[in-house]
Chains A and B, each alone.
Chain A
Amino acid sequence: MTAVFERTNGLKDLPTHYCPGCTHGIIHRLVGEVLEELNLLGKAIGVAPVGCSVLAYDYFNCDMHEAAHGRAPAVATGIKRVHKDAAVFTYQGDGDLASIGAAEIVHAAHRGEKITTIFVNNAIYGMTGGQMAPTTLIGQKATTAPFGRDKNHSGMPLRVSEMLATITGAVFVERVSVDTPANIRKAKKAIKKAFEVQMAGQGFGIVEVLSTCPTNWGLSPIEALGWLRENMIPYYPLGNFRTPQEVK
């Protein structure tokens, strides 16, 4: 019998703690597959964030370092400066990366730090129970925006990929989504490229992945995928914002 689908060796053989229908699990799997396919597991050092993916260090089958809320890019900088040949990546939520850790991600990109960031944008704070994130959409309800996000009160949702694409050191910037099988395949391709860019020593790479939070959005997993498509993609357009010529 030929196996057509197997678990990836990029992840440990463990059940995850994510809510049913949460796309964090899919994104983990993509990163794990890429690390395995690029033969990087022995060289990989990941940095886990604070947020729903705080336990990512238990799931990836490589060395892992847990960071303080928002500080993963600084921790990754320390690691990469010590081990220049390692495949160093951060895995961060939108609260972690776009709010408390905004300075750390901007400056890691600005230094052209040769690391890869997987940025999971679910437009909300998942772990702490559905508070507003910098990425929460206008009108979207959150526990700290009970009447829906109001532009005059909280500003417009932050477009991180567009912002980082203005920074010279950020050589690979792409926004993807994991709402359909086709988009999942594109997401994997982008993640793979981001790691290739790092290993080629070209600079900082980030893949923003639009993700769902059925629990805090108050939707079923299927409805959540639809909500992502109808509300998030129009405001957070998918596509590549920067790619170095050599790896195109």
Chain B
Amino acid sequence: MAKILMKGNEAIAAAAIKGGCKFFFGYPITPQNELPEYMARELHKTGGCFVQAESEVAAINMVYGAAGAGARVMTSSSSPGIALKQEGISYIAGAELPCVIVNISRGGPGLGGIQPAQADYFQNTRGGGNGDYRLLVYAPATLQEAVDLTMEAFDAADYYRNPVVISGDGMIGQMMEPIEFKEPKKRDLSPKDWATDGTKGEREPNIINSLALDPAELEKHNIRLQEKYDLMEKNEVRYEAYNMENAEVVIVAYGTTSRVVKNAIAALKEEGINVGLIRPITLWPYPMKAFDQIPHTTKALLCVEMSMGQMIDDVKIANKGRLPVHFYGRSGGMVPAPDEIVGKVKEILGGER
């Protein structure tokens, strides 16, 4: 298929429909509005349905109902909207239902701004909803990757009966790039015989539920959920290791920021400085094992984010105390320039050059 030029939000929406998404429930918030708008235009053509909910709280609970009813369903929002969805996300994870949630994040805290930021790392990877639950979180760096991951996300969600998050920022949502819709990786999926689609008098009633008043039963449920999350950690980790050979510094960055870092790496190369990049594609499960492959030439790690340093905790855990960990971040919707990263790398290597 030929490549077509699309805006990020629309490309993700189109990919979702190609991935089998039939239902979409959302509420407007910048910078993700083109996504629900695209769904409003297109979803009915597939026999599916778009509903503009009265709030993010309602939207995620509509997703909860539709997912329980056995449909492929999606919602999207941006930071403060995702904050409101956390209640429903916890219930959906607790009831083990599949859905896809897109967070085209912006600067915070609070109402914050509308420019791209990565300050929702904790929100996406640690939750904000109550209880022990985990989400599979994809962080695309290009629109092609956003499209590929969105198409795969529905199968992944069905496979694990778990919400999958597409974590993009305002830049991913708003920019245009050529993309191609390829056949996504398919998984072997079991029939949704647990869904609330009416017994038709042919089976015992199905119950979708996240309540377990007996503590022993709830603990058992949590242990079983954890086993599922362990399986995700074993099988779903994705990352890119870039320019790692003889790297003096290894930068860790994801999404939009990783693209700026790649430009900085090219500029540093011209000055004879070798810098590598570990780019997590799954923010959870985090690519801990990527850090075991850091070359002996590496003197330090540098975590670069559009936040005040939320991923640095994971970098430190993955690094296991082996190398000094530095941080460079911009916040509030400021995107770091390659020069700034070049400067930071030189500062780290300062004493030695």
Chain A interface residues toward B at CB < 8 A: 12, 41-45, 47, 54-55, 57-58, 60-68, 71, 74-83, 86, 103-104, 106-107, 110-111
Instruction: Determine whether the beta carbon of B51 is less than 8 Å from that of A77.
Output: yes
B62 at the interface (CB under 8 A from A): yes
A74 touching B69 in the complex, CB below 8 Å, given contacts A41-B201, A81-B62? no
Rounded to whole angstroms, the CA-CA distance of A148 and B55 in the bound complex is 34
Instruction: Determine whether the beta carbon of A104 is less than 8 Å from that of B51.
Output: no
Interchain nearest-CB distance for B202 vs A (Å): 7
Which B residue sits closest to A103, measured CB to CB? B54
Instruction: Determine whether the beta carbon of A78 is less than 8 Å from that of B23.
Output: yes
B49 at the interface (CB under 8 A from A): yes
Instruction: Determine whether the beta carbon of A78 is less than 8 Å from that of B66.
Output: yes
Chain B interface residues toward A at CB < 8 A: 22-23, 25, 49, 51, 53-55, 57-59, 61-71, 73, 87-88, 91, 95, 196-202, 205-211
Interchain nearest-CB distance for A239 vs B (Å): 28
Instruction: Determine whether the beta carbon of A63 is less than 8 Å from that of B62.
Output: no
Please pick, from B64, B88, B207, the residue contacting A57 in the complex, using a CB distance under 8 A. B207
Write 15 A-B pairs (CB below 8 A) sorted by A numbering: A42-B198, A43-B200, A47-B65, A54-B211, A55-B211, A64-B209, A71-B64, A75-B64, A77-B62, A82-B22, A82-B23, A103-B57, A104-B57, A107-B54, A111-B51
Which B residue sits closest to A106, measured CB to CB? B54
Chain A residue numbers with a CB within 8 Å of B54 are 103-104, 106-107, 110
Chain B residue numbers with a CB within 8 Å of A43 are 198, 200
Chain B residue numbers with a CB within 8 Å of A61 are 205
Rounded to whole angstroms, the CA-CA distance of A71 and B210 in the bound complex is 14
A74 touching B205 in the complex, CB below 8 Å, given contacts A79-B66, A83-B198? no
Instruction: Determine whether the beta carbon of A63 is less than 8 Å from that of B198.
Output: yes
A62 touching B61 in the complex, CB below 8 Å, given contacts A78-B23, A78-B67? no
Interchain nearest-CB distance for B169 vs A (Å): 28
Identify 20 new A-B residue pairs, CB closer than 8 A, beyond the known A45-B69, A79-B68, A83-B198. A41-B201, A42-B201, A42-B202, A63-B196, A65-B64, A71-B57, A71-B58, A71-B64, A71-B87, A74-B57, A77-B65, A78-B63, A78-B66, A78-B67, A82-B65, A103-B54, A104-B54, A104-B58, A106-B54, A111-B51
A82 touching B61 in the complex, CB below 8 Å, given contacts A62-B199, A63-B207, A74-B53? no
Which A residue sits closest to B196, measured CB to CB? A63
Which A residue sits closest to B53, measured CB to CB? A74
Which A residue sits closest to B54, measured CB to CB? A107
Please pick, from A54, A65, A77, A111, the residue contacting B196 in the complex, using a CB distance under 8 A. A65
Instruction: Determine whether the beta carbon of B209 is less than 8 Å from that of A66.
Output: yes
Instruction: Determine whether the beta carbon of B58 is less than 8 Å from that of A103.
Output: yes
Rounded to whole angstroms, the CA-CA distance of A71 and B61 in the bound complex is 7
Interface-central residue, A43, A62, A65, A66, by most chain B CB under 10 Å: A65
Rounded to whole angstroms, the CA-CA distance of A58 and B207 in the bound complex is 8
Interface-central residue, B63, B66, B73, B196, by most chain A CB under 10 Å: B196
